Amino acid sequence: MKKIEYPLLGECVYRTVLKNGLKVNLVPRPNFHKVYGILSTDFGSNDTHFCLPDTQEVRKVPAGSAHFLEHKLFEKKDHDAFELFGHFGADANAFTSYTKTSFLFSTTTNVKENLEILLDFVQSPYFTAKSVAKEKGIIAQEINMYADDADWRLYAGLVKNLYPGQPFSYDIAGTVDSVNQISVKDLYDLYQTFYHPSNMDLFMVGAIDVTETLEWINKNQAKKEFAPAIVPQRLDGRNEVAAKAVNPEQQLAFSVKRAKVAIGIRGFDRLPAGKAGLKYKLALQLLFYLLLGESSQDYQELYNQGIVDDSFDYSVVVERGFHFVWFSGDTDQPAIFRAKLTSLILHATSVLKTQTVEFQLAKKEFIGRQIRAMNVLEAIAEQYEGSLFDDATLFDKIPLLQELTLEYLLETAAKFISQPGMSVYELCPKEDD
């Protein structure tokens, strides 16, 4: 086991790769009472087109299959994994993103038992036609619930504009029609392809003993048989994604009292590999904080003019194969909101090139945020992105932030921001509302 030390932070990460390919990260926190564990696979809603590892048969599954599979893994022939976690005093959950599926638990007791439940239920698929049919109705209700959520429709509409016709453009849960097409075979084929230990990682943080915890994991995995390690063959390539032009704008009449506007910027530049990719992401976050964070001069002017209000927000999204930034807010002046923000974003380099003092202050604030996040076990575990950033953890962010310069931010802005990459999506109040 490799010990990765961060002496300035007083932190360390213990990392190893098991014989079956499972990557294990352990972060002991002896002063904590809680333990947080998360088991993730490099597989999400975008991965709908692939080759089966044994036969090389090309398969394409319906949208929403990854999310559906996440749900079904909890249910076994004679029990539900949620109930087992509850019996041993743990809270459990799971989530699916565009490129990752994660299963997690947190507990202050029975760590060994809960760790084994996590590994066992994820590594023992059990699907039947009857249980799959039942789940379709449950997920359909979830999809319909989100269809009535204005903020979700705004975000989903913008992503569809940014990546038209691509897996990105579908809701992570799919549609009611696509979910109804999911079969037992689809689930087993996906599981066989993407849930091999060599495509997964386990991150444990909190009140753990490293030697003892690793022994528990090794014993658990030694009881199981796995096929040889594989590299999943995904057929939704980035060249195909890059070929699709952005839809510049779209409006939808919706049951809202005020207009909701989202502006997105899709990155057509290639994300740097390894930790340089994480540095690039941090640069984007710092760049747009300087441009439109609550303390920026331009934000304050827009706020004082009533163009934006406390509903305004933005987010930087960087995942395997794509990256974009989006801004959103409720406004009584949607046309001015769009025009002002679009102009400000397109002229970001000229706006920021003189903000040397503001940059240094913002960088210190970002470093402070990372130090505070180290007190949150969930933040430590969930900010680990595996192979995307060459196994970088939350603890790698501070030295990367320290490396950032205003010149690097301006170079990043010049590469990332482009008129062809921008899109606007607006929810307009219905006339009868």
Catalytic residue ranges: 70
3-class SS at 317?
Answer: strand
First to last CA, the chain: 62
420 touches 268 (CB < 8 A): yes
C-alpha separations of 3 from 25, 90, 380, 387, 401 in Å: 10, 28, 17, 18, 23
How does strand 11-17 pair with strand 2-6? antiparallel
HSE, CB side, 13 Å, CA atoms: give it for residue 368.
Answer: 6
245 touches 419 (CB < 8 A): no
Between CA 5 and CA 89 the distance in angstroms is 32
Which residues, 6 or more positions from 171, have their beta carbon under 8 angstroms from its beta carbon? 63, 64, 143, 146, 156
22 touches 221 (CB < 8 A): yes
In b/e form, how buried is each residue of 411-428, taking b as 16+ CB within 10 angstroms? Answer: ebbeebbeeebbbbbbbb
HSE, CB side, 13 Å, CA atoms: give it for residue 183.
Answer: 6
3-class SS at 363?
Answer: helix
C-alpha separations of 288 from 70, 91, 208, 265, 357 in Å: 34, 35, 38, 12, 16
CA dihedral 203, 209, 214, 220 (to 10 degrees): -90
C-alpha separations of 371 from 60, 64, 376, 420 in Å: 43, 36, 10, 37
